[in-house]
Amino acid sequence: MASIPLPTAKHSLPSLLHAQTPKTLLSQKLPNLPKSFQSQFCGVKLSHSSNFAVPSSFKKSSILAKVSKGSVAPSFSLKDQDGKTVSLSKFKGKPVVVYFYPADETPGCTKQACAFRDSYEKFKKAGAEVIGISGDDPSSHKAFAKKYRLPFTLLSDEGNKVRKDWGVPADLFGTLPGRQTYVLDKNGVVQLIYNNQFQPEKHIDETLKFLQSA
Amino acid sequence: MFAEVATMSAFPHLRSLHHVNQCHYLSPPSHIYRSITTTTTKSRRRHPEPLVVDLPWVLNTSTPATTTIPLDDPSLQSTDPPPVLKRSTPVATTSMLNDPSLKSKWSHRAWVASGGTTVLVSLAKSVTGAVDSGTWLQPILAGVVGYVLADLGSGVYHWGIDNYGDENTPVFGSQIEAFQGHHKWPWIITRRQFANNLHALARAVSFTVLPMDLIFNDPVLHGFVSVCSGCIMFSQQFHAWAHTTKSKLHPLVVALQDAGVLVSRSMHGAHHRPPYDSNYCIVSGVWNELLDTYKVFEALEMVLFFKLGVKPRSWSEPSSNWTEETDTSSLIAEL
């Protein structure tokens, strides 16, 4: 689930903040609690200009994330849906949208993939590439891509190693792999991180908006 | 359907030409009429195809028909277009309405009586306790809480049964099969007699509430238990009313539906549309908006998928066993 700012979050933050360098800290500004609770699916967006909801304590892993805004995304080499090994470094020189999703053929992930597909031309126009990553194997990705005619690369992060390396936070007390999208600029530096488990289409809106305004 | 009477008269020796064997918890209808109520949004289909010959359900109740006659047998074909008949009739329709599996048996009535009794005893204990102690507010509030939670409980149970297991699942197998059958033929519930419809819930209520009647006397507890269990027991009646056309409902029922006290026809109708993954609550439906807006059931489904590897039925394209049968006329509804 996306961030659910809870009254206790504010109190738990100080202890979590000590572990962090300033640039990776989240804003301490809390939105209006009732509204934010009601809009728990607004998602958490980390970027230069915005203030954002403080995540509740169970999302502390995002604060300890190894990959955060402004940092260079660590490279990886994973197999795509055709079994070919793809490295992140291959995309250097152009912006990349890397989206981590829970699993193929689940309702949210299907909506998200289809939304990326439907806006793919817009991403291309902005000069960006789109890569989806989940723990499913290449054959699952192949079937998923074929069924929904997905034009972009899906990578198999078997064992969820890259997910852990990048520090993608889990949801619902660790029971669900998180849904988090990173926008990397042409130098491989993270410029936007967006997290929203249950409103998958918003990932497309937010990343496209960012790319088009950049 | 219009051709059937003509066919029947032309070929009286024909038995079943079409056997439905998907749902054997009730006598499978030998033909299906299109669902009529507000639950369906599918447009009426014309009947260019002739031969859906139906037979009275009573003939098919005990054993499945084994004879299948190819419908394209030239000897059965007429060169004339199928006669257009007025919808006044049908032999088959009348007998379908008399299907024994929809009628109440004495065992059904006994369970409804026992369930009802346990609920009334609980209610009586609450009222007498409130009178004795002079405090009414708490038992009444407890009753309201019971009413609200009954709706939530109905949704959770409904979600579980709709999405997981099958007819072979222990304990719940027959219920699961019944729910699947209900999705295929939603209107049948409106033709079930009262005790037939409620007896399964009444049985569960009897077993649950009886110990509470025997052990506890607290009026607040009984305020909660009586209203909650009463709402659960009658949820099948509320459900049936949600499938009934407005013109056939008592004005009081319509008023309660419109006020949101009972689940409305339109709200429940939304549950019967693909992908069949919303509006699971069937007492008042007061929880539906919250549960659907916050994707609570989707979250639970995801957790179950990642923890246990099971996918709910609502994630897949509905199979023919699930999809509402619309290949029928709306005649039944209008009777």
Give the pLDDT confidence score for residue B83 in this predicted structure. 52
What is the arithmetic mean of pLDDT over B222-241? 96
Helical spans, DSSP H, in chain A: 9-17, 33-38, 60-63, 107-118, 120-125, 138-147, 161-166, 201-213
ipTM of the shown complex: 0.71
Dump pLDDT digits (tens) for B123-133. 999 999 999 99
First to last CA, chain A: 28
The string over A91-125, giving b where at least 16 C-beta atoms fall within 10 Å of a residue's C-beta and e elsewhere, is beeebbbbbbbbbbbbbbbbebbbbbbebbeebee
For residues B298 and A108, give the distance between their C-alpha atoms in angstroms, rounded to a whole number: 9
Q: Is the pLDDT of residue B265 over 50?
A: yes
Q: Which residues of B touch A109 (CB under 8 A)?
A: none
A159 touches chain B (CB under 8 A): no
Q: The tokens of B85 are what?
A: 């008949």
Cβ contacts of B9 within 8 Å, gap of 6 or more = none
A37 touches chain B (CB under 8 A): no
For residues B326 and B184, give the distance between their C-alpha atoms in angstroms, rounded to a whole number: 9
> Which band of pLDDT confidence, cut at 50, 70 and 90, is reported for residue B41?
very low
* Gap from A188 CA to chain B (nearest CA, Å): 31
CA distances, B201 to each of B112, B115, B116, B268, B287 (Å): 8, 8, 11, 19, 20
Dump pLDDT digits (tens) for B273-310. 988 899 999 999 999 999 999 999 999 999 999 999 99
Query: Please, what is the angle between helix B219-242 and helix B251-258, to 10°?
Result: 110
| Maximum average pLDDT range among A138-142, B8-12, B97-101 | A138-142
Q: Is the pLDDT of residue B66 over 80?
A: no
For residues A111 and B275, give the distance between their C-alpha atoms in angstroms, rounded to a whole number: 13
User: Which residue, among B293, B306, B311, B316, would best test binding to A if mutated, counting the most A CBs under 10 Å from its CB?
Assistant: B306
* Gap from A41 CA to chain B (nearest CA, Å): 8
For residues B173 and A4, give the distance between their C-alpha atoms in angstroms, rounded to a whole number: 38
Low-confidence residues of chain A, pLDDT below 50? 1-40, 48-63
Give the pLDDT confidence score for residue B5 in this predicted structure. 42
Q: Cβ separation of B306 and A198 shorter than 8 Å?
A: no
Q: Cβ separation of A177 and B306 shorter than 8 Å?
A: yes
B300 touches chain A (CB under 8 A): no
In the residue annotation, A42 being an active-site residue is answered as no
Dump pLDDT digits (tens) for B132-180. 999 999 999 999 999 999 999 999 999 999 999 999 999 889 889 989 8
What 3-state DSSP class applies to A44? strand
Distance of alpha carbon B162 from the chain centroid: 12
Structural contact between residues B276 and B314, judged by C-beta atoms closer than 8 angstroms: yes
Q: Cβ separation of B306 and A176 shorter than 8 Å?
A: yes
- Lowest mean pLDDT of B13-17, B268-272, B300-304, name the range: B13-17
From the list A40, A41, A106, the residue facing B302 with the nearest CB is A106
Query: B323 φ, ψ to 5°?
Result: -65, 140
Q: Out of A1, A46, A109, A126, which one is annotated catalytic?
A: A109
What is the arithmetic mean of pLDDT over B78-84? 52
Q: Cis omega (within 30 of 0) on the bond before A7?
A: no
Give the pLDDT confidence score for residue A35 in this predicted structure. 45
Q: The tokens of A68 are what?
A: 């955060």
User: Which residue, among A101, A112, A136, A172, would best test binding to B if mutated, counting the most B CBs under 10 Å from its CB?
Assistant: A172
A41 touches chain B (CB under 8 A): yes
> What domains are defined for chain A?
65-213 (3.40.30.10)
> Which residues in chain B belong to E strands, given as ranges?
none
Cβ contacts of A73 within 8 Å, gap of 6 or more = A67, A88, A98, A166, A182, A184, A188, A189, A190
For residues A180 and A102, give the distance between their C-alpha atoms in angstroms, rounded to a whole number: 9
> Which band of pLDDT confidence, cut at 50, 70 and 90, is reported for residue B47?
very low
- Please name which of B27, B294, B10 lies closest in space to residue B185, comparing C-alpha atoms: B27
Q: Which residues of A touch B311 (CB under 8 A)?
A: 105
For residues A13 and A57, give the distance between their C-alpha atoms in angstroms, rounded to a whole number: 7
Q: Is the pLDDT of residue B256 over 50?
A: yes
Give the pLDDT confidence score for residue B97 in this predicted structure. 61
* Gap from B317 CA to chain A (nearest CA, Å): 11
Q: Cβ separation of B306 and A102 shorter than 8 Å?
A: yes
- Lowest mean pLDDT of B4-13, B167-176, B232-241, B273-282, name the range: B4-13
User: Which residue, among B276, B296, B302, would best test binding to A if mutated, counting the most A CBs under 10 Å from its CB?
Assistant: B302
Nearest chain A residue (CA) to B295: A198
Structural contact between residues B115 and B213, judged by C-beta atoms closer than 8 angstroms: no
Structural contact between residues B257 and B285, judged by C-beta atoms closer than 8 angstroms: no
> Which band of pLDDT confidence, cut at 50, 70 and 90, is reported for residue B46?
very low
DSSP assigned state of A171: B
Q: Which residues pair with A192 in a beta bridge?
A: A183
Q: Is the pLDDT of residue B91 over 90?
A: no
For residues B230 and A26, give the distance between their C-alpha atoms in angstroms, rounded to a whole number: 50
Q: Is the pLDDT of residue B35 over 60?
A: no
Q: Cβ separation of A102 and B302 shorter than 8 Å?
A: yes
Q: Is the pLDDT of residue B80 over 60?
A: no
Side chain identity, residue A10: K
> Which band of pLDDT confidence, cut at 50, 70 and 90, is reported for residue B65?
very low
